[in-house]
Amino acid sequence: MAQVRRTPLADQAADLLLDRIRSGEWALGAKLPGETTLAPQLGVGRSTVREAIRQLAGRGVLTTRQGLGVFVTALDVPEEWDAVLRRADIVAVIEARIAIETEAAALAAERRTPGDLRALRQALAVRDRQRGEAAALIDADTAFHRSIVIAAHNPILAELFDGFTPRLRQAMIDVLRMRRDHTTDADQEAHARLVQAIADRDTEGAAQQSRSHLQTMKNALA
């Protein structure tokens, strides 16, 4: 069995454990052997094994359950979110936005506060004023949609939305510049209807308005 030969020992031990997980030695959800078993297998001390396990836990591969042991929670290190987005096709990103923002719109209709509604209406007005220039419009549009996600009062949805923003910005600017008109009255009115559905606490209507708008965006990019 391979053993650690170079420092830093904890990094090497973590790499060896990860290789064994990738090879299928332990299945998803399986419990790892104890430190007293792993330490001689890896050729390191128990404290080094503990540090290696902490490293892999921080990378999402292992989890420690108090009093129960260490378990496999992923069969490889999850890819960094930014790298996933950089590689993703723009249409795929829009499809993910549809899933996230449709639910966010419904939650916003259910949970919005008077302050949220004021922020939404202000963002809508700013979006209307920025319709003459592509980059300014995209930034105003992004702020508008973010205000809906914030009104959903779900921090995970907000985090996901913020992750998508850089990936989409330039693509959307390019699309608007090719269209030349940048936006239409009908498009602005669709955004206004979305705000009204949220104001009316119409969860189904808000979700439908959000889905319809983003589907139109997807069709323009496809």
pLDDT single digits (tens) 96-124: 889 999 999 999 999 999 999 999 999 99
Overall average pLDDT of the 49-65 stretch: 90
Q: Name the domain boundary from 24, 53, 72.
A: 72
First to last CA, the chain: 51
2: in domain: no
Has residue 181 got a pLDDT over 80?
no
Overall average pLDDT of the 40-63 stretch: 91
Percent of the chain past pLDDT 90, that is, above it, reads: 53
What's this model's pTM, rounded to 2 decimal places?
Answer: 0.64
123: in domain: yes
**94 plus 195 within the same structural domain:** yes
CB burial class (10 A; 0-12, 13-18, 19+) of residue 159? exposed
Q: What is the CATH number of the domain that holds 176?
A: 1.20.120.530
Has residue 163 got a pLDDT over 90?
no
Q: Name the domain boundary from 23, 44, 72.
A: 72
Q: Which residues have a Cβ under 8 Å from the Cβ of 191 and sit 6 or more positions away? A: 124, 127, 144, 213
Q: What is the CATH number of the domain that holds 53?
A: 1.10.10.10
Has residue 84 got a pLDDT over 70?
no
Least confident of 46-50, 81-85, 185-189: 81-85
3: in domain: no
pLDDT value at residue 83: 56
pLDDT value at residue 4: 47
